[in-house]
Structure 1
Amino acid sequence: MENNELLDTLARACDNKRAEGIIAMDMRNVSLIADYFLICHGSNERQVQAIARSVKETAEENGIDVKRMEGFDQARWILLDVGDVVCHIFHKDERSYYNLEKLWGDAPHVELKIDVEAE
């Protein structure tokens, strides 16, 4: 699966659990951490965990290995390493505090096709 397809698929998984503020950032020319960041937030811990579960299950259903998941128990900032894509799922309070969009402001945003059904 190409990275842009993976981004859209994971973004839909977030959207299916009513994640808010879903954005993708192209990190290829900015960082060695990953090619893309997918960032979103939920309004409470239970929703943040549901979004993370949805991303993990969707990746695995598509044959993509989730290399690591951190922060699930606290559900304030869950990080999923999905190879070339790192998914950051925040509690809404933590997202504004850490403000990754500003921290990595040099990274261009990637247009997501969230409303398009998977083909």
Structure 2
Amino acid sequence: MQNRKNNADELIALILQGIEEVKGQHINLLDLRDIENTVCDYFIVCNGTSNTHVNAIVGSIQKIVSKAIQDKPWHIEGEANAEWVLLDYINVVVHVFQKQIREFYDIEGLWGDAKFTTIESSINN
């Protein structure tokens, strides 16, 4: 069990690095482990300023994770219109939104029982 947590911690750190490298905005980490019947352990939610920016964030995440730990998403959805792209790394699911789509779907609000961490970016948004 500890190994799984260490792997998740490393994956999360790499995903956050990928988001920050291309100036992804408003990054939140939702810890879902204490909630029953969840599909994964963590959500990472962020947004970009356009479909080009959303695709850049997704590409950066994939490149950094693949290079560091040779892992790739089990499933990806939403790349075609790049308003909401979901990267499923099994235990960690990443949601990259355009701002207005993020506000409309309010993932953080839907998962209000999750432990919620706002990631302070080292890069000025």
Q: Report 1:1-119 matches (<5 A).
A: 2-30=7-35, 31-61=37-67, 62-110=69-117, 112=119, 115=122
Q: CA RMSD in A?
A: 1.6
Cα distance change of structure 1 residues 111 and 40 upon mapping to structure 2, 3 Å threshold? closer
Q: Measure the CA separation in 1 of the matches of 2:54 and 2:72.
A: 20
| Identical counterparts, % of pairs | 30
Q: Which runs of 4+ in 1 moved over 3 A?
A: 110-115
5+ long unaligned stretches in structure 2: 1-5
Counterpart contact for 1:7–1:112, Cα < 8 Å: no
- Partner of 1:66: helix, strand, or coil? coil
- Partner of 1:90: helix, strand, or coil? strand
Cα distance change of structure 1 residues 101 and 11 upon mapping to structure 2, 3 Å threshold? same
Q: TM-score normalised to the size of structure 2?
A: 0.84
* Larger fraction in helix: 2
Q: TM-score normalised to the size of structure 1?
A: 0.88
Q: Measure the CA separation in 1 of the matches of 2:120 and 2:10.
A: 9
- Partner of 2:76: helix, strand, or coil? strand
